[in-house]
Amino acid sequence: MTSNRRITSWAIEERLALLIMLVPFAGYIGSIALYATDIPFWDDYAAFLDPLCHIVATDVWRNKAINLFTNHGYHPFVVERLVLLLQLYVGKINFYYFLLLANLGWAMTVGMLVWYFHKDGDIPYAFLIPIPYLMLAATHWEAMDFATASFQYYWGGGFFALLAILMTVKGRGGLSGLCCGLALLSFGGAKALIPVCIVGFLMTRQWMQLLYFGLVTGLLIGPSFYFNSVTGDTGDGFLHLVVDPWGAIKYIAMFMGNYTPTGIYHLGHSGYFFFAIGILVLIIAFIAYRRSPPFLRRVPLLLLGYVLLMAIMAAATRFEFVIPARYSMYALMIGAVVYAWILTGPGSEPCSVWQRRFAISAILASMLYWTYMFCITTPYLQANEIMRNNVAKDYLIDGNPETLKPLFINSDFAHRVLLRAKELDVYIMTSVD
CB neighbours (10 Å) of residue 237?
12
Q: Indicate whether 373 pLDDT > 80.
A: yes
Closest-CA residue to 343 (of 128, 178, 147, 169)? 128
How many angstroms separate the CA atoms of 323 and 326, rounded? 8
Q: Which is more confidently placed, 97 or 76?
A: 97
pLDDT at position 349 is 56
Q: For 189-242, give the DSSP string.
A: GGGGHHHHHHHHHHHTT-HHHHHHHHHHHHHHHHHHHHH-------TTTTHHHH
Domain boundaries, the chain: 32-229+378-433, 236-346
Percent of the chain with pLDDT over 70: 86
- Per-residue pLDDT band for 179 (boundaries 50, 70, 90) equals very high
From the centroid of its chain, how far is CA 376?
A: 20
How many angstroms separate the CA atoms of 110 and 182, rounded? 19
- Per-residue pLDDT band for 126 (boundaries 50, 70, 90) equals confident
Integer-rounded Cα radius of gyration of the chain: 23
- Per-residue pLDDT band for 227 (boundaries 50, 70, 90) equals confident
Closest-CA residue to 84 (of 58, 41, 55, 57)? 55
Crossing angle of helices 298-317 and 268-291, rounded to 10°: 160
How many angstroms separate the CA atoms of 197 and 30, rounded? 34
Closest-CA residue to 40 (of 99, 88, 126)? 99
Going by C-beta distance under 8 Å and a sequence separation of 6 or more, which residues neighbour residue 359?
A: 126, 127, 129, 130, 343
How many angstroms separate the CA atoms of 109 and 344, rounded? 21
Crossing angle of helices 160-169 and 95-119, rounded to 10°: 30
Closest-CA residue to 169 (of 197, 194, 190)? 197
How many angstroms separate the CA atoms of 368 and 383, rounded? 24
Contact 332, 110 (CB under 8 A): no
Output the CA–CA distances (angstroms, integers) from residue 97 to 103, 144, 151, 225, 413, in the order listed.
Answer: 10, 12, 12, 30, 24
Identity of the residue numbered 359: A
pLDDT at position 1 is 45
Mean pLDDT of the chain: 83
- Residues 246-268, mean pLDDT to the nearest whole number: 72
pLDDT at position 265 is 59
How many angstroms separate the CA atoms of 423 and 40, rounded? 17
- Per-residue pLDDT band for 118 (boundaries 50, 70, 90) equals confident
Q: Which is more confidently placed, 86 or 235?
A: 86
CB neighbours (10 Å) of residue 65?
16
- Residues 302-314, mean pLDDT to the nearest whole number: 85
CB neighbours (10 Å) of residue 208?
10
